[in-house]
Chain A
Amino acid sequence: MGRLMDSPSVKTPAKTSVLLCGDRASELAMGSFAEGVSVQIVPELCQSTRNIGQLALGATSLVVGVCSGEYSLGAIQTQARKVGLDALGVELVDLNCANGDPERLRLMVGAAVARAAAFGGSRLGNAKQTFPSRMTRRSLFRLSVPAYVSAPQPDSTRCTAGTGCHACVAVCSRGALAWTKGVITHDNAACEPCGLCVTACPTGAMVDPGITPRQLEAQIRALLDPGVGPVGARGIVYTCRRAGVSETNAGWYPVVVACTGMVPPSWLLAPLLLGAGATAARPCGDSDCPMHNDERLASTVAYCHAFLEAVGIDSGLVSMSTDVPRSGLDRRVEPDDPFGPFAADVLRALADVGQHSGDVVLDHPASPVGIIKIGVEACTGCTICAQSCPTGALAWRVDSEVGGVDDVVGGVGDVVGGGRDVVGGGREEITFDASLCTACGQCLPRCPEASRDAITLSVTTDVAALRREREVLFAENVMRCVSCGKPIAPTKMMARIRDLIGDDAEPVMRVLTRYCVDCRGAGVPPHSAE
């Protein structure tokens, strides 16, 4: 087998600059990295960061390996800005985590390079200024250079707050997020970036530029690259940014997130499909932690255990501790977008790997997917649930022999798929795609008939449902305007209105059931279509 020809001998300039503090890195023989990565060992880098800018000149991303807590993050970020880099994209590697193993160091640095290269840039508001937690007498004279951590901001192009979604607001324990007139506002000063809103957002619209699905995937794939690093099973352990990376056992590789409470089940399960021997998320154990997310993490891990067990996979592959990593799965399956907002693909892939033949139905409060049921007796077909579904898991269809469907209904269907379509026969349908449901529950409070159980959400993982095509939950004939032919409303809605109005309904119903909103207001004589 021949190799592909190497590219012409035109040297491309280094794109990622890796600067390692020589106090630890010089002990280790750094191997070569991919083209475009320049590695320099800098004596006493942790103590003096002044040369970082000069050394990183021309780079498009920067990785800094530090070996002691003496370094100033603010000073490193300042140097990055000097050479035009986005300071929030600088990746730090704790060289102590290499445990003196050059192969391990090379793997970790390579993964940090991958994560830095996947950084997509930040926006105003993503930089959260940090200070020492207390003002001291000394700080009356001098302040340390401000260090910034990345904080989430809603991406208005993907945010569905306009339809009423406020899933991010519901999980914020700091009161930093608010929903006002269809817009999510973020108070950076109140935010203690924990990332809960990032993974709670059903559409992935809440973006923390330092912890994006793309970055995680890049870093984890690099850490699991069998062609690099020590031989043997590798574990992926999520660690809290606030607590810093502490000692990890050999064979375990840290991936920093804002807070391990933010880690959803799919982030713990996906690395197994990518080749990890095991995954873990370690609570910071910091009694001063303002997040108090340990319980949330414990529930997420418990869900992973239950799911793996249900599909016939060793549940010990996911844990909250870093014991010796296990050997992982027998087969590797590549899920689409493993760290994205939809967990269905990861769950389906694991069920395939587990080759479990029976039904897997798992009720668990941490389930990342859910099942919507519509009570056909109570539902009037108003479609508000589908209009408010952020992901398009719930959608609706109305036939339209007169005029386009867009004239009849509107909603979020065009944002994330699903939504509007044309069916024949004068009927309205509400449909459901379980693979798009994130169990966010945004549809529930908007249902006008919720008290009559017109809609219910089960926080349940049903693998068979995840594999099914979109299904029809509600179908009803639609009344049409006798004047212009446009749909008026489902017959069940008219029946409900009749019930609510009571005995005096007939005169009103005569108009309501015959004419659409436009013709009612247009002075169309009732006899014109009689």
Chain B
Amino acid sequence: MTKARAKAAPEMEESLNWAELTLLRQGLYRFFGAVFMAPSQDGIQALGAGALVLDSLGIDRFAYSGPWQKLRSAMGALQSATDLEAIYISLFVVGGGRTPCPPVESHYVGDPSKGEAGVFDAELKRYYQDLGLALSSTHRHTHDHLSVELEVMSALCAREHTAWEDGVFGAAAGEQRCELDFLNKHLGTWLGLFACRVAEAQSAGFYSDAAAACWAFVHHDHEFLRLIVQMRDDPESDD
């Protein structure tokens, strides 16, 4: 192998395409959004199929691969939606007089005793409207529900993906800023607390693995976006 070939080889072999990367991120946000919705037999099968697609997009390249693999193992052991439903209800809906881990932002960031859940819901509704998004009428969750916030990130990534595909780099960068803003102000502020709460309530099992994998992914994605935006804002950047 010549020196020139040797130098080029690893770069060609191991570089990332922005559009593919965004597709992976979009898929992961959508996948985790579905994980934290009420389980159903069809839903479990769809999750399995979705996970296979995501595996093929190269999750191994990222540091959240470990928690993801653990979740994949837990998914393999899933029996029926009925079993999962009971755990879902005990963790996220009702549980011994109080919900152990409510999957809503207002519980972690606001003060539930002050009835701020409604304020959060209204604020987020406006925030989504500003982004040109609205909650589907078939959705029964509040605007600050984990599944909704993950789905919002997925929608923003979908726009970014389209921009990369169309070669409109400025628009793609703009979408990344929107994603970072949403993580800074909402999803990134409470998901870690939620994941800790789930780990405390269920030391082992599908939902603790799912919450850990979701938090690992979002945490790394948040850091990734901060670095990307910071580098782009760097005056020495030559793009």
Interface positions of B from 186 to 232, Cβ below 8 Å from A: 212, 215-216, 219-220, 223-224, 226-228, 230-232
In angstroms, Cα B15 to Cα A143, docked, is: 5
Q: Are A78 and B61 in contact (CB under 8 A)?
A: yes
Q: Is the interface of A mostly helix, strand, loop or mixed?
A: loop
Q: Are B236 and A143 in contact (CB under 8 A)?
A: no
Across-interface contacts of A86 in B (CB, < 8 A): 66
Binds A, one of B2-10, B45-53, B102-110, B127-135: B2-10
Q: Any chain B CB within 8 A of the CB of A4?
A: no
Q: Which of A70, A127, A145 contacts B6 (CB 8 A)?
A: A70
Across-interface contacts of A81 in B (CB, < 8 A): 60-61, 65-66
The number of chain B residues touching the other chain, given as a range, is 35 or more
**Who on chain A is nearest to B172 by CB?**
A140
Given A125-B219, A189-B223, A189-B230, does the pair A134, B10 have CB atoms closer than 8 Å?
A: no
Q: Any chain A CB within 8 A of the CB of B83?
A: no
Give per-residue flags for A159-187: 1 if the beta carbon is below 8 A from chain B beta carbons, else 0. 00000000000000000000000000000
Report the minimum CB–CB distance from A126 to chain B (whole Å): 9
Q: Are A129 and B60 in contact (CB under 8 A)?
A: no
Across-interface contacts of B9 in A (CB, < 8 A): 47-48, 70
Q: Are B60 and A135 in contact (CB under 8 A)?
A: no
In angstroms, Cα B10 to Cα A127, docked, is: 22
Q: Any chain A CB within 8 A of the CB of B111?
A: no
Across-interface contacts of B231 in A (CB, < 8 A): 131, 134-135
Q: Any chain A CB within 8 A of the CB of B16?
A: yes
**Who on chain B is nearest to A139 by CB?**
B239
Given A136-B239, A137-B238, A189-B226, does the pair A47, B10 have CB atoms closer than 8 Å?
A: yes
Interface positions of A from 120 to 154, Cβ below 8 Å from B: 124-125, 127-129, 131, 134-137, 139-146, 148
Q: Are A143 and B18 in contact (CB under 8 A)?
A: yes
Report the minimum CB–CB distance from A477 to chain B (whole Å): 46
Q: Are B65 and A129 in contact (CB under 8 A)?
A: no
Q: Which of B5, B17, B58, B223 contacts A129 (CB 8 A)?
A: B223
Interface size on A, residues (CB 8 A): 40
Q: Are B10 and A71 in contact (CB under 8 A)?
A: yes
Report the minimum CB–CB distance from A194 to chain B (whole Å): 17
Across-interface contacts of A44 in B (CB, < 8 A): 1, 6
In angstroms, Cα B59 to Cα A146, docked, is: 11
Across-interface contacts of A135 in B (CB, < 8 A): 231-232, 234, 237-239
Across-interface contacts of A141 in B (CB, < 8 A): 17-18
Q: Are B69 and A84 in contact (CB under 8 A)?
A: yes
Listed residue (B13, B63, B237) with the most chain A CB atoms within 10 angstroms of its CB: B63
Q: Are A140 and B169 in contact (CB under 8 A)?
A: yes
**Who on chain A is nearest to B15 by CB?**
A142
Q: Are A143 and B21 in contact (CB under 8 A)?
A: yes
In angstroms, Cα B238 to Cα A78, docked, is: 29
Q: Are B15 and A144 in contact (CB under 8 A)?
A: yes
Q: Any chain B CB within 8 A of the CB of A378?
A: no
Q: Any chain B CB within 8 A of the CB of A188?
A: yes
Q: Are A145 and B16 in contact (CB under 8 A)?
A: yes
Report the minimum CB–CB distance from A131 to chain B (whole Å): 6
Report the minimum CB–CB distance from B192 to chain A (whole Å): 9
Across-interface contacts of A140 in B (CB, < 8 A): 18, 169, 239
Q: Are A146 and B61 in contact (CB under 8 A)?
A: yes
Q: Which of A125, A142, A146 contacts B17 (CB 8 A)?
A: A142
Q: Which of A47, A70, A143 contacts B16 (CB 8 A)?
A: A143
Q: Which of A72, A78, A131 contacts B227 (CB 8 A)?
A: A131
Q: Any chain A CB within 8 A of the CB of B14?
A: yes
Q: Are A124 and B17 in contact (CB under 8 A)?
A: no
Q: Any chain B CB within 8 A of the CB of A49?
A: yes
Report the minimum CB–CB distance from A145 to chain B (whole Å): 5
**Who on chain B is nearest to A69 by CB?**
B7
Q: Are A70 and B224 in contact (CB under 8 A)?
A: no
Report the minimum CB–CB distance from A254 to chain B (whole Å): 24
Interface positions of A from 81 to 104, Cβ below 8 Å from B: 81-82, 84, 86-87
Across-interface contacts of B63 in A (CB, < 8 A): 87, 127, 129, 146, 148
**Who on chain B is nearest to A144 by CB?**
B15
Q: Are B13 and A75 in contact (CB under 8 A)?
A: yes
Q: Any chain B CB within 8 A of the CB of A332?
A: no
Q: Any chain B CB within 8 A of the CB of A50?
A: yes
Report the minimum CB–CB distance from A23 to chain B (whole Å): 9
**Who on chain B is nearest to A53 by CB?**
B60
Across-interface contacts of A75 in B (CB, < 8 A): 10, 13-14
In angstroms, Cα B135 to Cα A430, docked, is: 63
Q: Which of B61, B215, B230, B239 contacts A145 (CB 8 A)?
A: B61
Across-interface contacts of B15 in A (CB, < 8 A): 142-145
Q: Are B14 and A74 in contact (CB under 8 A)?
A: yes
Report the minimum CB–CB distance from A259 to chain B (whole Å): 20
Q: Are B14 and A145 in contact (CB under 8 A)?
A: yes
Q: Are B13 and A48 in contact (CB under 8 A)?
A: yes
Report the minimum CB–CB distance from B147 to chain A (whole Å): 21
In angstroms, Cα B232 to Cα A136, docked, is: 9
In angstroms, Cα B232 to Cα A457, docked, is: 47
Q: Any chain A CB within 8 A of the CB of B67?
A: yes
Q: Which of A79, A134, A143 contacts B234 (CB 8 A)?
A: A134
In angstroms, Cα B9 to Cα A329, docked, is: 49
Across-interface contacts of B14 in A (CB, < 8 A): 49, 72, 74-75, 78, 144-145
Across-interface contacts of A128 in B (CB, < 8 A): 223
**Who on chain A is nearest to B169 by CB?**
A140
Q: Are B224 and A129 in contact (CB under 8 A)?
A: yes
Q: Any chain A CB within 8 A of the CB of B11?
A: yes
Given A127-B63, A134-B238, does the pair A142, B16 have CB atoms closer than 8 Å?
A: yes
**Who on chain A is nearest to B67 by CB?**
A124
A/B interface sample: 5 pairs, CB < 8 A:
A75-B13, A82-B60, A124-B219, A134-B236, A141-B17
Shortest beta-carbon contacts, A-B, top 10: A127-B63, A75-B14, A142-B15, A135-B237, A189-B226, A81-B65, A143-B16, A145-B14, A72-B10, A81-B60
In addition to A135-B237, A139-B239, 20 A-B residue pairs with Cβ atoms within 8 Å of each other are A44-B6, A46-B6, A47-B6, A48-B10, A70-B7, A75-B10, A75-B14, A81-B65, A82-B60, A128-B223, A131-B231, A135-B234, A136-B237, A141-B18, A142-B15, A143-B21, A144-B11, A146-B61, A146-B224, A189-B223
